[in-house]
Every structure is written in C-alpha cells, then in structure tokens.
Structure 1
C-alpha cells in the first residue's frame, strides 16, 4: 500500500511530516478504510509502537501495519511516554497521522508596557484602540467563484460514479484550502498582537448567535472571529500575556471620551459626540473595550499564573462559563 500522509502533532507543539504508507502485511492493497461516517481513528498509549524515528507500526491487528515517516522533525527528540495520542485522519487532500505530545512550550518575553483593545468587524478584520486596523482578507469570498464551479461539476456527475467521487474530492480540497488560509491568517495576527502587548482586550462575542442573522452569516463565518480569539488565548497562555474578554454591550454606542450614549446604525461608520469627540466607529468601540478591561469588567481569558501555585490553568473557552476550564491548549503550527 502506497500513499502520502501528513503527520501533525496535536500536542503542545505541532510537528509536520510528509510520510509514505508502506504496508507489506495486507493482501489487498489500498488506502486506509474508515466506516461510512468516520474520518479518523484514535489510539491512546497502546495499539502502536515506534520502530525508529522514521517508522511507526500499528499492532492492533486491524491490518494498518507499518508507516514510513518522511519529514524534518525527529520524533526521537521526545520520549515515547510523552506521546499521549496517535490519530489517523482522512481529509480531502490525503491522510494525516497526528501525534499528541505532552511538552511545555511556554516562552519568556520581556514586558512591552503596552495595552490594546480590539474591535473585530466585517469591513476591517479588527481595529485597535490606537486607530490601526487590519484588512479583512475574505478568503471564502475570494474563492467562491471556484467553489461554485466545482459544485456544478459535482451536480453534473452521475451519483455513485467514480467521476462524481473525483469531483467531490476536488471540491473538498478547495474548501480545505480556504479553511487553512483563514486559520493561518488568524494565527499570524494573534501571535503578533500578543507579542506586542502585555494586555489584550477583546469582545466576548457569541458567534453562534450572531450567525443567526442570515444576511450576515456568510461574512461572519468567513471573518474567522472564533479562530482569532482562540489563538489570542492560546498565545496569551504560552507567552504569559493577559487577555481579557469583556461584555460587548454598547461598546459601539457609548462615547469613549465622555461616556454618553450616541445611538447609531450599522451603516453609520463615524462616531460624533456632543463633547467634541469624533472617531471612527470601530476605534471608538476598541477604546471602550480597553477601558472596560482595565476597569476589571469581563473575565480574564489568560490566567495570570501565581508562582506559589501548584498548577496552571488554560484560557477560558469561547462561550464557556468560568468553572468549565481545561488544563491545556494543545494546537499550534510548526511555522510559528
């Protein structure tokens, strides 16, 4: 059996490999087969063994056999008892083998003595309290023309045919590319923001409620606000920065200078107050977000670790209540 696989570590540090599957024990050759509605299989600390840094063998008698790993990462660097999970995952562009490795990835950064508030939006990806903004790339909108082309190709093929499966695979590859573009974009921005500031404040948005507006649902999903917050909190824990999620209510309506309520519709992009304050709508909201964070309003997303404490906590998950905490954040690209 010969196939291309990509190996990712889903632990505290991600490792990427291009690997080739060679199975000399199967009589019938082909790619790994999953059940109808399954795309992955997960092993814990048994059912597999590393033969050497470049080979892994599955010993659960399911016929997977031996996999050859090709890549720049050396698994021998990590003790085998640190590998907590091994997954085989099928995606549109091939098969992935994911290693979950328990390692400490905290970084020591000097303080910057800077604080920032972020207001995410659809026109600009985010606007900060200093008046700077980041453009919204709109990856889905850019690729929508090609997506429609591939969707038409799928609809024209006979159901159950090999050509239809090939067309579906091409459509899936396009969707996968867009999702990866969005993920890497939010990851890059989140890392830059966390490195440059000691405290980052953002809105505690409920994305699943916002997308109920069918007029804006596509644009909201395309923006990737959830991924951005997820990576802000992850890098906040990793680099020892403070991230605070505040209540977004009236951050766009209240004046950041005097606190007066200035009602405005979504089409009104400039905040003008009787006190003489005149700002971009999103900059005014970002300043309000930062002021609420500094006023201890909201909950801390990245917990400040007590040096006398016996353990540490991860950031608060989006939409979770405070007592529902996880002990780790375990995903990162090797390119970071």
Structure 2
C-alpha cells in the first residue's frame, strides 16, 4: 500500500466545511465506541450497521458520506480489536482500553471509494458528500496519472497546524531490487542541524514549529 500526500488549497468557507466533516467523523467514531461499551458482545459488523442508525437519528450526521461513516466505525473497531489482542496476549500493565477521541489540531476524516472525485488532470479533488466542500487544488510532488482510480482505496483528509492535506492510499506493491554495497552510514540527529551523516554532510533543520509560530503571530496581529 502506497500513501501519497498533497496540500489542499481552498477558501475559508471550504475549510470550515471540511472541519464539519472531520467533527462528524469523530462523532461517529465515539458513538460507535459508546455503543460497544453499552452493549456486550457487539462486534465489527454491528458497529458498521450502527452507522445507519446514527444517520437516521442525526440528520447532520447523514451529510457525511456513508462509506466515510463506515470508515469511522472501522477506526473504533481497530481500537477495540487492539485492546482485545493485548488482553489475549496478557501484556503486562495497561491493555490500551479504547478511549474517546477528543478535538485536537491534528484530526482527519477518511473516505473510501465514494464521496470524492478527481479531475481529469489529477490536480483537483472535489468532495461530493452532503457537506459540499467543493473543489480544492492539490499541491504535491506525486503524479497520480501512473495509477488507476480503482487502485485508490482510501482518501483521507488530514487537518494540521499549517493547513489541510489529502492522502491517497493506493493499492500497489513496491518492489525494489537492491544490491548490498557493503558500506555503512551513521546519522547523528542534533539541534543545530537536522542530522549529520558519517561523511560529515549535514541537512538543515526545517524548524516547522517556529515557522508555524511566526505565521500564528502574524494572523493574531491581523485579528487584533
């Protein structure tokens, strides 16, 4: 499975609609977790069916694509299954009991094979579910023309401190034939440089946090 990522460029209103989709996905995931806690013996398929119940009870939850709701239920079940596996293996200490997901800066919503559409040139993506976020330009270095649309199994929208990103999970095996060179390289991670290799070559520290803090201060001054 390959994962390609690109940054999304849109308007403030479009980003707000993506936030609505992300909040709804978190609501579905937490609701499925609560349903499992309150009903003994609930399994993966029961959680998937419970998504339809949530869509009927909450009209705004129905705006989220049905496959995206199922993906949120699968996330809940992944946490539950991991807890069961830890208990089965009798791992000492805490077993990782599933927890409710809280709002935070980094969050995401995951679609499957519907709820989105790529343009012919594969440079624009349009989200077609009930939130009507519209079309976004994608800025990235990966070329999606090498892959068929049926190979894209998941489309994940990720919100970070510096913007919104889209990730494409592509069903493709990467086979790389390499011959051992017999040479060993060492890396030393530091503060002044991102890392220094054994040959003395250095890579500058990108300092993403400081750049984000500068952008935040600029936006706060604008708001004031």
TM-score bin (small chain): 0.3 to 0.5
User: Which has the larger Rg?
Assistant: 1
TM-score (norm 1): 0.29
Larger RCO (alpha carbons 8 Å, 6+ apart) = 2
TM-score (norm 2): 0.42
Between Structure 1 and Structure 2, the one with more helix by share is 2
